[in-house]
Amino acid sequence: LARMERFFLEKRAECLLFAHPNAHPYDSDLIVTDRENRVTGFDSKHNVRTGWQDNLVNAGIYILSRDMLRRVPEVKKTDFEKEILAPMAAAGEAIYAYRSPEYVKDVGTVDRIRAAEEEWKSGFPAKRNLEFPQRAVFLDRDGVINRYNGFVRTPDELELLPEAAEGLRRLNSSAYLTIVVSNQPVVARGETSEAELATIFNKMKTLLGREGAFVDDVFYCPHHPDSGFPGEVKELKIDCDCRKPKTGMLRRAAERYHLDLSACYLVGDTTGDIQCGKNAGVRTVLVKTGEAGRDGKYAVTPDLVADDLAAAATKILEEQ
């Protein structure tokens, strides 16, 4: 809550919502945000949804400015989200989402409250407190979560691998955060805009959510060091610190989520992924989906080898 309050004050917000991914976004109220985490809209679970959505759920925990109370009618029963927050968001007022991987659960069904009871008994909620060092499984996207058929430039080109959701479900029920770290040079090359890339990632999240799985966060590198592509974005044609095998994405995730990198893993399908993990000091898993290490760019040996993401999750959890 102290961390949430700091974010509220930093953003000079009128209202701050506690937001998180969950395993059932299809029957949850979703939040729509911009890149600065300003709330731009709400997508009710009662809507007929089309397109692809971010898995970002409103947990119903708020920090409000005192001025917000003046907006609430004194005697009228009010739907706070629909009648107050949604018009404010549509008007561009200062409503923000605080994204957190900490333990928040909707227990609105019998199965969900039973699962929460078991997790509470195991001590799992306390382990997800960001006051303590966390552990994560970093995941490459192409060839690990979705089929690798070259660069994905449009949502239509993204197709989940059949074992990906199962692997993520296993990790979602463990002490590990799941964080995507993906090189996306298609942005620098001018083949996909960052807005289009966000839609591609939202398709991934929507498809995973339909199968009861989620990722806690996504980091991507939009840069590319080589010039000469038609339509390329000049300012992104740089030698950055985030393009794997460099470790910028992992280090930023570690700072955001208080990660102990020595207790983390990276799952990838290329030698570049494995070299990135080695550079960051995390344990590495090479999966045989995607390129399966055949790129041969780096002479590096992974700590573990698995057939796919589901098998990788099993090996990680068994090892720990």
Q: Which residue numbers are catalytic? A: 140, 142
Taking the C-alpha atoms of residue 1 and residue 15, their distance in angstroms, rounded to an integer, is: 14
* Distance, CA of 287 to chain centre: 20
Q: How many residues does the chain have?
A: 320
Core vs surface per residue 4-33: b (16+ CB within 10 A) or e: beebbeebebbbbbbbbbbbbbeebbbbeb
| Distance of alpha carbon 18 from alpha carbon 20, whole angstroms | 7
- The one-character DSSP state at 297 is -
C-alpha dihedral (170, 176, 178, 179), degrees to nearest 10: -160
Nearest C-alpha neighbor of 139 from the set 35, 277, 241, 251: 277
